[in-house]
A and B are shown apart, each in its own frame.
Chain A
């Protein structure tokens, strides 16, 4: 009965492209933020529903990923306010075992366990950098920190990971030079 509304259709198309283009990355980020598959899925869904309502405010298409991450972090914070949960340690998270060779699977599994045991202040910037591809200044903006602080956290995060995996410390190596 009602004629097709071109503006609405275009908005829906834009939203669908957004979901299809970013839902996987956002899920992975959410997963490493909360450590639970179901919760990560809910967070991503809530994030996109909020994004839909605020889609008209999105001005720069190039900044869409950072925009979605910001929404997701806020959603996570809201959830945490409503229902406090242990976030310092996500050791007991159900780590998926990808289809890979046993050697690789073991290596990945160890890396994931090590990652899960990192404190959130180290884990989050590292996930943003490695998975999100954000620069230190972009991460600093996301987390509301100084760039130098983010660089320190990233360095320590890698140091801790390598320490758990028994890999060499790059600075120790330098001191031996």
Chain B
């Protein structure tokens, strides 16, 4: 490298560490001095280019990012809810049109289905096996003290269904999640099974109120109804007197009918009666 080549390279890349560049600088006092002048200029240039950034720039960017994230999430949820609502409405219309004469949805279950169209539970809302206290708390706030909580409740929320107060739950099963809605103050009505679109449904009388189950299969409805019967039954046994039981027993001859798919009377004897 000669002096001219060195000066050209110095003007392009003053910080170069190329072997021939460094070697020439070390051998040539004139170019070494030129390098020192160039370094001084680079230092001034760097200083001049370092304009002050706005205060809290990083915080502002992070705030914008988290705000956009929330907006995006909300918008996705809204789009999904709208899609789910539309799909559910279409299914409901189809069911009413096709199956009305075959398997009418009981009025209470129809209210529950209507509620489910408005209250879409997203996968994000589900938590693997909620703590039993959470479920007990929701029931307690509805005036029902549970003796135990069936295993595998992934979601619980206090909701209205028409004029009734309910506890809305989701229980995962192999064929898909089963929506279980306990209607606290439902009027006495016989239990029944029904279809709602591709979903199966069953309405079951409990000691107090009714249990409505809706899911992609009815295979687990018996077990779910039994587990809730026990949970609610225990509550009555623990907190109500024999007198209360008798009063309910008289009014609720279908106490054990819950396990029959067709809602007819069942064969399990009430342990309190025995």
Do residues A111 and B34 form an inter-chain contact, with CB atoms below 8 A? no
Determine whether the beta carbon of A52 is less than 8 Å from that of B58.
no
Within 8 A of A (CB), among B1-60: 3-4, 7-13, 30, 34, 38, 41-42, 44-54, 57-58, 60
Contacts A154-B11, A155-B8, A158-B11 known; A48 to B45 CB distance under 8 Å?
Answer: no
Report if A127 contacts B (CB, 8 A): yes
Number of interface residues of A (CB under 8 A): 48
Verify B50–A131 contact, CB threshold 8 A.
Answer: yes
Name the A residues within 8 Å of B10 (CB-CB): 170
Cβ A45 vs Cβ B64 within 8 A: yes
Q: Does A88 contact B (CB under 8 A)?
A: no
Which A59-118 residues sit within 8 Å CB-CB of chain B?
95-96, 98, 107-108, 111-112, 115
* B124 interface residue per 8 A CB criterion: yes
Main secondary structure of the interface of A (DSSP, over half): helix
The smallest beta-carbon distance between A46 and chain B, in angstroms, is 9
Q: With CB as the reference atom, state the residue of chain B lying closest to A111.
A: B48
Question: Does B48 contact A108, Cβ atoms closer than 8 Å?
Answer: yes
Contact A96–B52 (Cβ < 8 Å): yes
Contact at A130–B46, with CB atoms within 8 Å? yes
Interchain pairs with CB closer than 8 A, number: 109
Judging by beta carbons under 8 Å apart, are A177 and B54 in contact?
no
* Contact present for B62 and A96 (CB under 8 Å): no
Complex alpha-carbon distance, A49 and B62, angstroms? 9
A65 to B198, CA, bound (A): 53
Q: A41-B57, A45-B60, A177-B30 are in contact. Are A130 and B49 (CB under 8 A)?
A: yes
Nearest chain B CB to A86's CB is how many angstroms away?
20
A173 at the interface (CB under 8 A from B): yes
* B61 on interface, CB distance cutoff 8 Å: yes
Residue B272 interfacial (CB < 8 Å): no
Q: How far is the CB of A111 from chain B (nearest CB, A)?
A: 4
Q: 1/0 contact trace for B192-229 toward A, CB 8 Å? A: 00000000000000000000000000000000000000
Find out whether the CB atom of A167 lies under 8 angstroms from the CB atom of B41: yes
The distance from the CB of A103 to the nearest CB of chain B, in whole angstroms, is: 12
| Residue A39 lies at the interface, judged by CB distance under 8 Å to chain B | no
B51–chain A nearest beta-carbon distance, Å = 5
A-B CB proximity, top 6 nearest: A111-B48, A151-B12, A155-B11, A27-B53, A24-B53, A154-B12
Residues of B within 8 A of A (CB): 3-4, 7-13, 30, 34, 38, 41-42, 44-54, 57-58, 60-62, 64-65, 68, 124-125, 127
Interchain Cβ contacts under 8 Å between A and B, 20 examples: A19-B62, A23-B61, A27-B54, A31-B51, A37-B54, A44-B61, A49-B65, A112-B48, A112-B49, A130-B45, A131-B50, A151-B12, A152-B12, A155-B11, A159-B11, A161-B45, A167-B41, A170-B34, A171-B4, A177-B3
